[in-house]
Structure 1
Amino acid sequence: MPETPSPAVAFLNAFPFKVEPDTVLACRGDRIFPGLQGLIPAADTNERSNDGEPGLPLPPTAVIRTLAVMSVANKAVLNKNKNKNKNKNKNKNKAAGGITAQASAQLVPAFELRRLHQQPSVSAFTAARRFCWETLNILAPPGPDCTRLETTVLLSMQKRDRERARRLTDIEREATISVSEFTRPLHVEDVAGYSATEGVFQSILTACEYVGLIYKDKFDRLRPSHFEPLLRPLLAVPPHAAFPSNHAFQCYSIAFAFATILPEHPATDELARIAQNVAENREWAGLHYPSDTQAGRELARRFAPYLHDAFGQSFQAVRAEWT
């Protein structure tokens, strides 16, 4: 026995429409479906249709009222499910430590970047051409002869297939630096109560990426594989210059910042070791020269005071979490 259609389906079938370029016209439809028995009044008709023919039945008020009730009911169910999922996700984040919201809110540390750009000038209406942290005294990249020697080192590293394969998983994971690389050795990964720590780490990564790109543009050093075609990088080569290594700059900046906040913490040496390992993995991947890594570390050391000044309040919040 055929299944009886719902009132909504029956209504749509009983009152079909055709769509014209500039209007929507009702088509002739005079069948009454079982689902609409008792809902469609017999007397509701137009006197004359648009094309001069006898009018078609108007959409029954009772059916429209029924559809409206169904629509409201469906919307209520959807909102109820939406709120249920929202509360479920909220509880899930709270159970996981409640730290993801703080980190996502600080993906762009606008306040701290603004502090970096607050440099006094002679006139309040004259913007400084360059800020002090843009002109830090780090050694320029070596010349072609030394670069050739560095590519020789990278070619020898490329031949060590076993060591390269051992590092490959870390290299791929570290292509985009995650805060968990630094919260894990601190034993606060997915632990509640350390949102300021994770937020500061994420903000430092973002701010240092911005500053590092300024220095990359300043020195504009070719990537190793662009200088030596025999090199085969393990990852896609980034479109920006090589010097200094932004991975080294970002990771060492976190290590130096945490050492400034909590110099007595035993994990400070471990954070520096992780920063060095991440930077070296970029060399094993064929993306950076050793001198890029050294420059990234030196830039982090010289930029640390400016980072401390810009993130001073956040540093205090981190220390409060640990004391």
Structure 2
Amino acid sequence: MPTRSPYSGPYRKLVLAFDVGTTFSGISYRFPAQEQVGGDSKIPTIIYYDQNGVVRAVGAEALKEGLDDMIEDEGWTKAEWFKLHLRPKASASATHKIPPLPRNKTVVDVFADFLHYLHTCAQTYIQETHANGADLWASIEGRIEFVLTHPNGWEGAQQAQMRNAAIQAGLVPNTTAGRARVHFVTEGEASLHFCIQSGLTTEAMKHGRGVLIVDAGGGTIDISGYGQTSESTFQEISPAQCYFQGSIFVTNHARTFLQSMVISHLDIETILTRFSSALLEGSKFSEDVNHITNCFDKTTKLRFRNSSEPQYIKFGSARDKDLSLGIRSGQLRLKGYVSFQVQVPIQVYETIP
């Protein structure tokens, strides 16, 4: 495993790495109001704005119980999946419909608000948990190096927008030196570093084999191939790929399926009577599609293992039944082979000699 020399600079520094994902985000430090999302140091990538465009709730705070009434009564607007609005134009046509940005907000505005929140959380944590935390933060605040991750294939244009968001968020000043403190790494490279430090690539590298990294995220599936050229040097052995077919789109496929004419599990008589209708349209469950989709997202999608077994979406009570729809005891039965699998091609163009 390659080793890294300890930092030997003339003064103390801090590196904060932000991973702003489509559905969840993380940073080096923990977050307030995180109890409801587990202890894995990530929060939902969600922001709520009021009617004046002011941030009212972010991350796990946006999922607190009792917040729904305030959201409805005060007309708050939800921003989610906003990272995908940064995507290259060439990939826009391959992306499913994504939620629009809040009114009068650009993607840089929303991204900046979220970075500001993450930065504030890190600052608060350091100040409250380290000895002399306030003095410690004051001594390093102007020298923090920021690392932002992004999907494979995002290049200068996307990095420029993310850097502008970091400036707008107050992470760095809008100067040459300030901009130089914002660094970028692809999600494939970040995954490779994690694998190396965890020893997951050791055996493969010993025998001169390459390593294929598949990062199946919320918005994108990133595929990267690497080979080791020396003890501490790695090189891509295939062009990195990025597919907009992540977890959120699997759920979208499920929603479409529930609303579509995919009725192959029904008998011929039912097919004839329901041919022009969506799966649940016209039934007493037609208004439950959103709830059923959410149940799929939280449970069924996570349990799927193979296409030879049926899958079930538990959404109701024992009284909910409609055998023509495959619903029994509050469960909707799905054949395994109509589950929402995505096939992506992998091309390796040139290997290291």
Q: Which TM class, normalised by the smaller chain length?
A: under 0.3
Bigger CA radius of gyration:
1
Query: Which is strand-richer, 1 or 2?
Result: 2
The structure, 1 or 2, with the larger RCO (C-alpha pairs under 8 Å, 6+ apart) is: 1
Q: TM-score, normalised by structure 1?
A: 0.22
